[in-house]
Structure 1
Amino acid sequence: MARNSKNLKAAYAAIDRNKAYGLAEAVSLVKGNAKAKFDETIEIAMNLGVDPRHADQMVRGVVAMPNGTGKTMRVAVFAKDAKADEAKAAGADLVGAEDLAEAIQNGESGFDRVIATPDMMGVVGRLGKVLGPRGLMPNPKLGTVTADVTAAVNAAKAGEVQYRAEKAGVVHAGIGKASFDEAKIVENATAFIDAVRKARPSGAKGQYVKKITISSTMSAGVFVEDAAAQ
């Protein structure tokens, strides 16, 4: 704990907490301050001028990270017969139907993404209280309810990121690891920012993107200058 506190103090000393930096400089600062003994995740958070409690102000979507996220995604697929075989061939970690639903109800949680073929949504729907709070319910708008399970599994494994505005109007995601080249982190951050900006809902009024912050798992956040607002 003492070491972490020392590193965090050093990170704060290295940045101007009242300044918004250009994206490339912000990434450089965050990457330079990531001094933990493990490969820290680089995260981005966008504070939006929306109230997600209103349907016309919800911000939700999916974006493919150009350089992946550095995280190993564990994928569960609800499918039967040939589609189940297809999911297994694509590299899904868990595949099943009623048996998979029972396993999840009994505590199975070894997955980060859930994909389902349309005919399996009757089974998956019964898991709403388990999957919903984790943001894992399959959704056609996010490409996780689909007959093309191969494409869905491949996208998830390649670093596709889902995002959803929280109560305070914040969306966030992991966009890489501290071991990534700065240029790759910048490219991923740009893809995420662009996707969220394009997802502006019809009910959003006034300033949409209020603040952008980039940080690492154990280090201080750095404010990012919103170039599009200049």
Structure 2
Amino acid sequence: MANGKRMNKAREGIDRSVTITLEEAVKAVKERATAKFDETVELAINLGVDPRHADQMVRGVCTLPNGTGRSVRVAVFARGDKADEAKAAGADIVGAEDLVETVQSGKIDFDRCIATPDMMPLVGRLGKVLGPRGMMPNPKVGTVTADVKAAVEGAKGGAVEFRAEKAGIVHAGVGKASFAENALEENIRALVDAVIKAKPAGAKGTYLKRIALSSTMGPGVSIDTSSISQG
């Protein structure tokens, strides 16, 4: 009941049918993030695509200029020198066959997963485990790479993977409610810019249809897309 009252109060002054500027949206979301923990600020971008068609799939990675505000545990599938490189770069878990067995057993104690190209025949066996969680390494987003150091540092430093879901919506965290307004605005602009650059050849008509911002426990607000980018 307390949560219901809090949400009703948070919704006061918000009309989701009306779009507001990015600056107004960030301010409104921060003011309404009143939970007892540091809420994540989340962006939802409705795109004019149908991801069921291969030429309309939207996928990519964006490094948020001000980071995500959360500690990311990174696992790397690598051997030899590359395994040493991953550990030196700050990877939390590094392994080969042993790590594959651990994941197959259902123990996934990490948030991001990186693999060297030579490990993919092994890692490919984990598709049914990692795929549904959006963790399967993929060269398109830089998580299958020989440059392990850059990949680990990127994942630790604020790299966010994004992909359009079935309804053509991209969801991603863009920081914490404790972030300064301008830091959140910079992160949001960076993510929207990356999504625009990832526009697929098959996209027709309006690409950026609607953008909404919310915090973990707060209501969503609709953002005027032209206040973020002209893309």
Task: Give the Å deviation of 1:229.
Answer: 5.7
Q: Structure 1, residues 57-101: CA drift from partner, whole Å, max 9, x if none?
A: 000000000000111111010000111111111111110000000
Query: Partner residue of 2:82?
Result: 83
- TM-score, scaled relative to structure 1: 0.97
Which runs of structure 2 are paired with 1:4-153 in the superposition (5 Å)?
4-153=3-152
Query: Partner residue of 2:197?
Result: 198
The change in CA–CA distance for 1:150 and 1:10 in structure 2 (over 3 A counts) is same
Task: Give the Å deviation of 1:3.
Answer: 2.0
Task: Give the Å deviation of 1:198.
Answer: 1.4
> Which amino acid counterpart does residue 161 of structure 1 have in structure 2?
V
Unaligned runs of 5+ in 2: none
Alpha-carbon distance between aligned partners in 2 of 1:114 and 1:179, rounded to the nearest angstrom: 27
Task: Give the Å deviation of 1:17.
Answer: 2.0
Alpha-carbon distance between aligned partners in 1 of 2:105 and 2:219, rounded to the nearest angstrom: 38
Q: Structure 1, residues 33-78: CA drift from partner, whole Å, max 9, x if none?
A: 0000000000000001100000000000000000001111110100
When the two structures are aligned, how many residues end up with a matched partner?
229
Query: Partner residue of 1:220?
Result: 219
Alpha-carbon distance between aligned partners in 2 of 1:152 and 1:189, rounded to the nearest angstrom: 22
Q: Secondary structure at the match of 1:26?
A: helix
Unaligned runs of 5+ in 1: none
Query: Partner residue of 2:185?
Result: 186
Alpha-carbon distance between aligned partners in 2 of 1:97 and 1:152, rounded to the nearest angstrom: 17
* Root-mean-square deviation (Å): 1.1
> Which amino acid counterpart does residue 125 of structure 1 have in structure 2?
G
Alpha-carbon distance between aligned partners in 2 of 1:193 and 1:117, rounded to the nearest angstrom: 29
Task: Give the Å deviation of 1:107.
Answer: 1.3
Task: Give the Å deviation of 1:11.
Answer: 1.5
Taking only the aligned residue pairs, the percentage that are identical comes to 64
Task: Give the Å deviation of 1:172.
Answer: 1.0
Alpha-carbon distance between aligned partners in 2 of 1:86 and 1:202, rounded to the nearest angstrom: 37
> Which amino acid counterpart does residue 213 of structure 2 have in structure 1?
I
- TM-score, scaled relative to structure 2: 0.97
Task: Give the Å deviation of 1:213.
Answer: 0.1
> Which amino acid counterpart does residue 12 of structure 1 have in structure 2?
R
